[in-house]
Structure 1
Amino acid sequence: MNATAAASLAGSRRNSWRAVAAASIGNALEWFDLVVYGFFAVIIAKLFFPAGNDTVSLLLTLGTFGVSFFMRPLGAIVIGAYADRAGRKAALTLSILLMMCGTLIIAVLPTYQSIGIAAPVILVVARLMQGFSAGGEFGSATAFLAEHVPGRRGFFASWQVASQGLTTLLAAGFGVLLTGKLSPEQMASWGWRVPFFFGLMIGPVAWYIRTKLDETPEFLAAEATTTPLRDTFASQKLRLVIAIGVVVLGTVSSYLVLFMPTYGVKQLGLAPSVAFAAIALTGVIQMVFSPLVGHLSDRHGRTTIMLISALLLLILINPAFTYLVAHPSFGTLIVLQIVFGFLMTGYFAALPGLLSEMFPVQTRTTGMSLAYNIAVTIFGGFGPFIIAWLISFTGSKAAPSYYMIFAAAVSLVALMAARRKLGFR
């Protein structure tokens, strides 16, 4: 290799890792602002939805968490199409600005006791704004990562999932610190707001980094379309349906993790700091293990790894929850989180690479954004609400496993279709 070629390769690698850093930091903060709402659902329920009944209050809070997901398909359409027309960089910058606005509203919003019914109404508006932002984030960030080194799509796209692991770790870390150090009165007074202000402080840094990025080489080399949404529905309907099915298990498993602090406190009677510590472990596994899964998917195929993980989740999740309910201790929860964390990451970390290959460059962000956010809206956003309802309806504390079994079955069918109809391995 001559000096010019070596310098060009070194520059390409530096650009690739800058892209990973920029997309991951911004992506982690995007999801952090969403996740902390779910992690602190019990406190938010009492402050903004004082229904006089703890279960009703919690269901209203989790319902508000889910309502924001109605905006995600709209965000996917608007920001996804914008990314396919104007570029990935422009869409990433827009999405993080919108998320910061929604987070600011929640951070400073007076409670129901102060301003009455206006408090939950404004909270819903802020959540809708966050949902719209998140709707465009996944597709834009995944396309941005996958298009820098096409031969290693799985590895670079997996940093999308690794950054979400960082989100889980940060949010759980705040949960452990705040619930362990502050009294319930302090948490209700101001402690729950701290994570939202943290997101606001780091957000401008992430926005600045994203404004300094270069556009992806693959997008610049392709001829852009002015009608990415119409093109997606006109010629890629089968791919879109299969992609939605593949996402189902990834989103349900992710939002089950989000629900676990509430589950540990309300159903198992564990201390909040204990529940958050167990979730933090899942975040570490997801953050560290995702790039390895992405690398393996480049070598051995995306669907192969995902099928193995989905089958193991289908088989093991109910016995694991049944045992946890029978032995509700910190040690048991840790073991479950370790097993669940590795299996979830084995599936989810290979997913972005697979989705990025399902759609051509011209409609990649639109297609991925639609598939991901339709699945997330239907199956993920209301996941915590559905799980809480299942527990109440069945009377079984192992009910979360029923929803996971359903999700695994749907995605297994979709993965087989991806292999047989689209030729993926």
Structure 2
Amino acid sequence: MTGTANAPVEHQTETSPGRRSARRRALIAGATGNIVEWFDFTIYGFTAAVLATVFFPPEFGSGALLATFALYGVAFLARPAGGIFFGRLGDRLGRRRSLSLAITLMGCSTAAIGLLPTYASIGVAAPLLLLLCRLVQGFSAGGEYTGAATFVVEHAPSHRRGLYAGIISSSSFVGSILATVTVLSFSSVDAEHFADGGWRWPFIIGGVVAMVGLFMRLAVEETPAFKEMQENDSLPTRPLADLFRNHWRTLLTSFVYFASLGVVTHMLLGYMPTFLVLSADVPSTVALLMTTGALVLAVPLFIFFGATVDRIGRRPLVRIGMVMSVFVSVPSYMLIGTGNIFAIAIALAALVIALSLLASALLVILEMMPTHARFTGTAIPYNIAYALFAGTAPLVCAALVNATGSDLSPAFYATAIALIALPILWRGIPESKDWSATRGSPTKHF
């Protein structure tokens, strides 16, 4: 792979109290923005059943839910454009500026969903406005997750990069957990009121929280890696061209990785609550609570596995996660199909463990990318993979169940994706534990 050419020569970073404080602020600011992104996206997935009745005509029947999931996936189609835009902005003008703009757009579009008129009020214009908001959400999200990971890991000390990456990854689920708590707080008090308009408040709250994240990011300094490029007058002029010319193998490996990770993640976030209700006959509140419990388990696992790769290396955990993702889906969905709460809990835990192990490879993807194009190089494969596979996962799963009549069809879909990805990732993910934090030249340093 391209990354293997980087010599493992370590450069000591600052260890002053001021530098440690800057790292903590960067970690908090990066995680906060990521929490906001996943809070906003998860709210949509968890309120899909209500949104289907609000934004589509009654005669649509079950097609309204499919249309709602289609809009869930449409947002991901805007992510590649957002990844290119925010990636180039982050590589040329700074990580902080790019992330600040991304969280602003995310917050405004999320709050706007909570203020939209319904189909009963303005007819077909309602789902069109919802589509517009989702496209803006997707565009802004294209620069958020990978940008936050780049920002935080570039601030991290060399022996803690895995821990920092694990915290950023786990913050995604913190956002989802908070979204679930918010939705339950409004829906459990009065389900009828929630359907009549109470669903709006979680989206409005998401917009307000995004503004808090914006102020936190504006208060944090730029990453040392980017500032060094500025000082050496080595900011990129054509990061995209360099990536496709010199780092295409790294881009391909990253794309396959994010496709595999995205399917597992969004089958859990976007589809599992609906699957538990429709296929396992679990009450909707119980389904949300069980999904939330799985996400709660994911938070410490992501952090633990992130810290573990700092000690033992990247490859062992990643490879275990690759193999486990091949074998875990079908048995887990069979357990879920029993409708037994204990069996469902075991199945969700197994899916989360596989996801947590696989997610530890995020750090390797960042380490494989050259510094002058790291934001762009991570954002492009991530967002294209998520547009094609992650965002469409709930829609594909629902369509497969409708077409085949089998509740296990989503599990076979996830298994097929994992099988295709396994040989590519097995060879393509390098062991980057001893790669340097600063790699000699401004175009290759971390």
User: Partner amino acid for 2:303?
Assistant: P
Q: Is the 8 A contact 1:165 1:282 kept in 2?
A: no
Indicate if the aligned counterparts of 1:176 and 1:273 stay in contact, CA closer than 8 A.
yes
Structure-1 residue corresponding to 2:336? 324
- Partner in structure 2 of residue 245 of structure 1: 256
* Cα deviation code 1:103-138 (max 9, x no counterpart): 121010011001101100010000000000000112
Q: TM-score, normalised by structure 2?
A: 0.89
Answer yes or no: is 1:263 the counterpart of 2:270: no
Q: Deviations over 1:17-65 (max 9, x none)?
A: 1111111011100121111111111111111122524321111111111
Alignment map for 1:205-224 (pairs within 5 Å): 205-222=212-229, 223-224=234-235
Asked whether the equivalents of residues 314 and 431 of structure 2 are also in contact (C-alpha less than 8 Å), the reply is: no
Distance 1:6 1:333 in 2: 46
Are 1:388 and 2:398 matched, yes or no?
A: yes
* Corresponding residue SS for 1:52: helix
Aligned position for 2:438: none
Which residue is 1:181 aligned to? 189
Q: How does 1:108-147 map to 2 (within 5 A)?
A: 108-147=115-154
Q: Deviations over 1:231-266 (max 9, x none)?
A: 211211111011101112211111011111111122
Cα–Cα, structure 1 residues 292 and 135, in superposed 2: closer, same or farther, change >3 Å? Answer: same
Q: 2:113 aligns with which of 90, 106, 110?
A: 106
Measure the CA separation in 1 of the matches of 2:278 and 2:386: 25
CA distance in 2, matches of 1:175, 1:279: 13
Amino acid at match of 1:131: G
Give the structure 1 partner of residue 366 of structure 2: 356
The equivalent of 1:199 in structure 2 is 206
Q: One-letter code of the match for 2:205? A: F
**Residue 60 in structure 1 maps to residue 67 in structure 2:** yes
> Secondary structure of the equivalent of 1:136?
coil
Hey, what's the Cα distance between the residues in 2 that align with 1:383 and 1:232?
28
2:165 to 137, 157, 160: 157
Offset of residue 224 of structure 1: 1.4
Q: Match of 2:418, as an amino acid?
A: A
Deviations, residues 261-301 of structure 1 (Å, cap 9, x unaligned) = 11112222211110010111122122222121111112222
What pairs up with 1:307-318 in 2 under 5 angstroms? 307-318=319-330
Residue in 2 aligned with 1:69?
76
1:35 aligned to which of 27, 38, 42: 42
CA contact (8 A) 2:109 2:207 kept: no
Q: Cα deviations across residues 142-184 of structure 1 (Å, max 9, x unaligned)?
A: 110110125132211222211111012112222333332222x
Residue 308 of structure 2, aligned match among 261, 272, 296: 296
Q: CA deviation at 1:398?
A: 1.8
Kindly tell me the number of residue pairs found equivalent between the two proteins. 416
What RMSD over aligned residues (CA atoms) do the two structures have, in Å?
1.8
Q: Answer with 403-412 or 138-147: which moved more.
A: 403-412
How far, CA to CA, are the matches of 2:383 and 2:255 in structure 1? 8
How far off its partner does 1:331 sit? 2.6
Distance across 2 between alignment mates of 1:7 and 1:142: 20
Gaps of 5+ in 2: 1-11, 434-446
CA distance in 1, matches of 2:142, 2:410: 25
* Counterparts of 1:254 and 1:37, CA distance in 2: 15
More helix by share: 1
Partner of 1:418: 428
> 1:407: Cα distance to partner?
2.3
Write the distance in 2 (CA, Å) between the matches of 1:414 and 1:37: 33
Contact 2:154 2:225 in 1 (8 A): yes
The answer on whether the counterparts of 1:176 and 1:274 sit within 8 Å (CA) in structure 2 is no
What is the letter of the counterpart of residue 12 of structure 1? R
Change (3 A) 1:235 1:51: farther
Contact 1:242 1:417 in 2 (8 A): no
Structure 1 residue 408 corresponds to structure 2 residue 418: yes
How far is the alpha carbon of 1:11 from its aligned partner? 2.2
Code of the residue aligned with 1:387 in structure 2: it is C
Which residue is 1:97 aligned to? 104
Distance in 1 of aligned mates of 2:408 and 2:175 = 26
Amino acid at match of 1:178: F
Q: Which 4+ stretches in 1 moved above 6 angstroms?
A: none
Q: 1:9 maps to which residue?
A: 16
Q: For the residues of structure 2 that align with 1:13 and 1:150, how far apart are their CA atoms? A: 9
Residue 412 of structure 1, CA deviation:
1.4
